[in-house]
A and B are shown apart, each in its own frame.
Chain A
Amino acid sequence: METLLEKIKDRVNANFDLKDYKIYTDLKRVDLFFNKEHIPSVLLYLKEQMGFRHLMHMSVVDWIEEGEFEIIFFLWAPKEKVKIFVKTRIDRDNPVMENMDNIWPQLNTYEREFKEMYGIEFPGLVAPEEFILESWSGPPPMRRDFETDKYAKDNFATRPGREDAQDVRETIAKRSGEDIPDFAKKYSR
């Protein structure tokens, strides 16, 4: 298995500018890292020339600390029964990725989702404006800096019936007669 995975990697490397790779023999899987401009040709080559005909999934990871989104394509070769994860990073502040639904039509659905959930632009994507979030006005909600709590408070009313909730710290302080000074309260939970 290892030689097969090595061979796959070597063949891709011979044709494209492979940035990095990782081989997981036990998982029958190769991870390949590319710059974003190589992705369409890599995917097309893997599909048409190397038997990775099946797109299993597409995913996005928000690396907020590094200012990047990672885009991952999960491919499957039914004959060899091996996986390839094609990974690339794009700028988080200007997230643009090529539309590739001409390679696999089902990418259209994924791209719609990532456009809505992460705010990634896919120029040329032909799809209805809204996907899941109807009449959404806030920032893309799957981004890690999205404040769910704040958004919920700003946009939704609270149902009555929960006013009897108590703060644990205050309840205990009240019961034992503790006086928490104001300057200490910012450290309370």
Chain B
Amino acid sequence: MSFFDLRGTLKPLTSLKQFGKNPHTIRYPEVPVEASDRYRGFHFNEIEECIGCGNCATICMNESIDMIPVEGVEGDKGDSGLRPRIDYGRCCYCGLCVDVCPTGSLSLTKDYIHVSEDPDTFLFLPGIENPDANNRKTYISTKETSLNDWARIPMPELEGKERVKSFAEVVLGYNEEQARQEAERCISCGICTEVCPDHMHIPEYINAIASGNDEDAVRIIYDNNPLPELCGKVCTRRCEDVCAIATRGEPVAIRWLKRYATETADASDVIKDIVNPEIRERNGKKVGIIGAGPSGLTAAYYLALRGFDVTIYEANEKAGGMTMYGIPKYRLPLDSIQKQVDYIVSIGVKIHFNTKVGKDISFKEIYENNDAVFMGVGFPKAWTLGIDGEDAKGSMQAVNFLHMINSGEDVEVGNKVAVVGGGNVAIDAARVSRRLGAEVTILYRRRVQDMPADWEEIEGAEDEGVHIEPQAIPIKIHTDDKGNVKAIEYLKAEMVQSKDGGRPKPVAIEGSNTIMEVSAVMAAIGQQGDYDFIDKEYAEKIKIERGRFVVDKNQQTTLPRLFAGGDAANRTADAISAIADGLRACKAIDAMLMPSNK
């Protein structure tokens, strides 16, 4: 060390660099420090966006979240009606509840100060008690940060070009690995079960698949649906519309998972082994069922399990009703239906095929010889277009066409087909015609986005080369001298917003007549009931409104002991509603005939 310690002398001068800077002081009165941008403070919940799935409450390891009913929030289809309440005595602000929130409604805010001597004030309803915290959100859920899986495992399918060569099934089905992965996306909230007409136990069977117990899944499915393979392939799957994951991603493939589970049981005796149903002793009561469609088969199955002597009268050669004769085999192969019908027969249901009620056996006989009767007669008669030339050779109804094809008959459609309509029947008829080698055009009065058909079906049809001509209103079918269809004439339409706020209506444009040469025309504009089979003395007592039987909540008609279900009784006209009707009728018949079972 030198005599003059220069370093020690100069060092204090470095403090001069602070000269002229603002001193670090605290303001008075004190201004609270604002929390950082990703601060995890009190919760905020967008009450309108929240669907009450309860995923936050499930994930919370401190059990600090309760789902409670909240004033002003109505439980509805797609919303449980419950909202989260946080117990800040337990919350550790980990933010997992935000990370798993499927809707993204839950977030954490910058607020962190709450002082109170009353412990009850630490129970807190986010979004309701702090509506103004909306602009102080910090820790939010984005699609990237969320822990939910948004993307569906893609379903393997045949290529469009391959499909039109045959009636081979288009959708190939998940393999085991794909099914487990897809099942794991489900958050098991159960919101889907409310919109399912049959209220199937969806989260339970998906969880069973996810945990590798396919047999349990099959058992759970058969608890209230005896035709699950049919539903697994062609269900209208309204459940997927309200799936919690669908709020920001692709819904869980509920339909395909049901299909996977049911396909693991590949024969009727395997189903019987797995489901191993408890069949009650015969109770001596007889139930007659008219029509072996989905509703009739469902009622028959569950009635037989409950010990009833069940007989089905079916006009056709095979069971399944519209699902057998209306749905093309590339969507629902014969084996799929046959396997399930065989299983239903194996537990003791009798089916008389080729027995048309009203012709081969009278309604009266069935009604008088049974303790209860269920009708699942469907809508067999197609609406006609009501235009000139409709009786020409080559002009037909699409359902009749599908019926003939599914019965194995040959139908001559020529090389150019026009299908009129926009529902699933129209798409089915168009895709079948493509497989018969014809060029196909669908004429629909409204726009493509207005078509009631499944969007997957519409896309499938386009992949297969079906041309869709929207906003086209047919006005005449032209014929040649031999009476064959030669062309169809139609008007272009423009969409006009209706004044009463309904959906836009197509209005024909004068002079926009277009003539398209075709060899066949198929009408697919809807079907109606045909109730001539009911004897007059009974028909008078059965109330029919707008072409459908009037039934109460138990599916009972105005004639005692007579129940009805399916298309002829509900307005939704799909297989799963028919199945639900059948099950409801079964329960009501059981309660009516065997009150002691209650």
Binding site for B on A (CB under 8 A): 148-149, 152, 159, 161-162, 164-169, 171-173, 175-181, 183-185, 187-189
> Would you call B216 an interface residue if the criterion is a C-beta within 8 Å of the partner chain's C-beta atoms?
yes
Question: B residues 32-74 with Cβ under 8 Å of A?
Answer: 52-54, 57-58, 61-63, 66-69
Interface contact B223-A166, CB-CB below 8 Å: no
Pair A177/B188 contact, Cβ less than 8 Å: no
Could you tell me the distance between the alpha carbons of A64 and B311 in the complex, rounded to whole angstroms? 61
Whole-angstrom distance from the CB of A180 to the nearest CB of chain B? 6
Tell whether, in the assembled complex, residue A148 and residue B61 are in contact, meaning their CB atoms are under 8 Å apart: yes
A162 pairs with B66, CB closer than 8 A: yes
Query: Can you name 17 A-B residue pairings with CB atoms under 8 Å?
Result: A162-B87, A165-B66, A165-B67, A168-B190, A169-B203, A171-B75, A171-B80, A172-B75, A172-B190, A172-B193, A184-B201, A184-B204, A184-B205, A184-B219, A187-B204, A188-B203, A189-B207
> Closest chain A residue to B223 by CB distance?
A181
| Chain B min CB distance to A183 (Å) | 7
A176 near B68 with CB under 8 A, answer no
CA gap between A188 and B120 in the complex, in Å: 31
Evaluate contact between B63 and A172: CB separation under 8 angstroms: no
Q: Of B81, B190, B205, B220, which is within 8 A of A169 by CB?
A: B190
Are A168 and B189 in contact (CB-based, < 8 A)?
A: yes
Tell me if B80 and A172 are in contact (CB < 8 A).
yes
A181 near B69 with CB under 8 A, answer no
B120–A178 touching, CB < 8 Å: no
Other-chain residue from A149, A166, A177 in contact with B68 (beta carbon distance below 8 A): A166
User: Is B436 an interface residue when CB atoms closer than 8 A count as contact?
Assistant: no
Task: Collect the chain B residues with CB atoms within 8 Å of residue A159's CB.
Answer: 89, 119
Does B248 reach chain A (CB closer than 8 Å)? Answer: no
Shortest CB-to-CB span from A172 to chain B, Å, is 5
Chain B residues, Cβ within 8 Å of A164: 66, 68-69
Q: B369 near A: Cβ within 8 Å?
A: no
Interchain CB contact under 8 A, B189 and A187: no
User: Using Cβ atoms and an 8 Å threshold, which residues of chain A touch B223?
Assistant: 181, 184
Q: Interface on B for A, CB 8 Å cutoff?
A: 52-54, 57-58, 61-63, 66-69, 75, 80-82, 85, 87, 89, 119-120, 123, 187-191, 193-194, 199, 201, 203-205, 207-208, 211, 216, 219-220, 223-224
Contact (Cβ within 8 A) A180 B201: yes
| Complex Cα spacing A169 to B211, Å | 19
With A159-B119, A173-B199 given, can you name 14 additional A-B contacts, CB distance below 8 Å? A149-B62, A165-B67, A165-B68, A166-B82, A168-B80, A172-B75, A172-B193, A173-B190, A173-B193, A175-B75, A178-B199, A181-B201, A187-B204, A189-B207
A168/B82 in contact, CB under 8 A: yes
Partner of A178, one of B69, B187, B201: B201
Give CA–CA (A173, B68) in the complex, Å. 16
Complex: chain A residue closest to B190, CB-CB: A169
Whole-angstrom distance from the CB of B209 to the nearest CB of chain A?
9
- Identify the 3 closest CB pairs spanning chains A and B, nearest first: A165-B66, A168-B54, A178-B199
Residue of B with least CB distance to A169:
B190
Question: Contact: A188 with B63, CB < 8 Å?
Answer: no
Residue in chain A with minimal CB distance to B208: A187
A residues in contact with B187, CB < 8 Å: 189
Whether A171 pairs with B201 at a CB distance below 8 angstroms is no
> Which residues in B have their C-beta under 8 angstroms from that of A149?
61-63
Which residues does chain B contribute within 8 Å of A177, judged by CB atoms?
199
The interface residues of chain B lying within 8 Å CB-to-CB of A148 are: 61-62
Q: Quick one: which of A148, A149, A183, A187 has the most chain B CB within 10 A?
A: A187
A168/B52 in contact, CB under 8 A: yes
Instruction: Pick from A152, A167, A173, A184 the residue with the most CB of B within 10 Å.
Output: A184
Query: How far apart are the CA atoms of A152 and B62 in the complex, in Å?
Result: 9
B63-A166 in contact (CB<8A): no
CA distance A160 to B61 in the complex (A): 19
Contacts of B205 in A (CB 8 A): 184, 187
- The answer on a CB contact under 8 Å between A184 and B220 is yes
Task: Decide if A169 touches B188 in the complex (CB within 8 Å).
Answer: yes
Given contacts A162-B66, A184-B201, A187-B216, contact A169 B189 (CB under 8 A): yes
Known: A167-B67, A168-B54. A187 touches B193 (CB 8 A): no
CB-CB under 8 A from B82, the residues of chain A are 166, 168, 171
Q: Which of B66, B120, B194, B203 touches A189 (beta carbons < 8 Å)?
A: B203
In the complex, how many angstroms separate the beta carbon of B281 from the nearest chain A beta carbon? 21
Q: Which of A161, A168, A183, A184 contacts B67 (CB 8 A)?
A: A168
Asked whether B203 lies within 8 Å of A161 as measured between CB atoms, the reply is: no
Asked whether B207 lies within 8 Å of A187 as measured between CB atoms, the reply is yes
* The one of B67, B123, B193, B201 that contacts A166, using a Cβ cutoff of 8 Å: B67
CB–CB B220/A181 < 8 A: yes
Across-interface contacts of A189 in B (CB, < 8 A): 54, 58, 187-190, 203, 207
Instruction: Write the nearest CB–CB distance from A156 to chain B, whole angstroms.
Output: 10
Assembly CA distance A162 to B62 (angstroms):
14
Q: A168–B188 Cα gap in the complex (Å)?
A: 10
Min C-beta distance of A59 to chain B, whole Å: 19
Q: Nearest-CB distance from B354 to chain A (Å)?
A: 37
Once the chains are docked, how many angstroms separate the CA of A129 from the CA of B189?
A: 46
Alpha-carbon distance A166/B52, docked complex (angstroms) = 11
Q: Which residues of A contact B53 (CB under 8 A)?
A: 168
Q: In the complex, what residues of B have CB within 8 A of residue A181's CB?
A: 201, 220, 223
Chain A residues near B207 (CB-CB < 8 A)? 187-189
Contacts A159-B119, A189-B189 given; indicate if A176 touches B199 (C-beta within 8 A). Answer: yes
Q: Return chain B residues, CB-CB under 8 Å to A185.
A: 204
Docked complex Cα distance between A149 and B67 (Å) = 18
- The CA-CA distance from A149 to B123 in the complex, in Å, is 19
Nearest to A180 among chain B residues (CB) is: B201
Q: Which B residues are in CB contact (< 8 Å) with A161?
A: 120, 123
Q: How far is the CA of A148 from the CA of B60 in the complex (A)?
A: 11
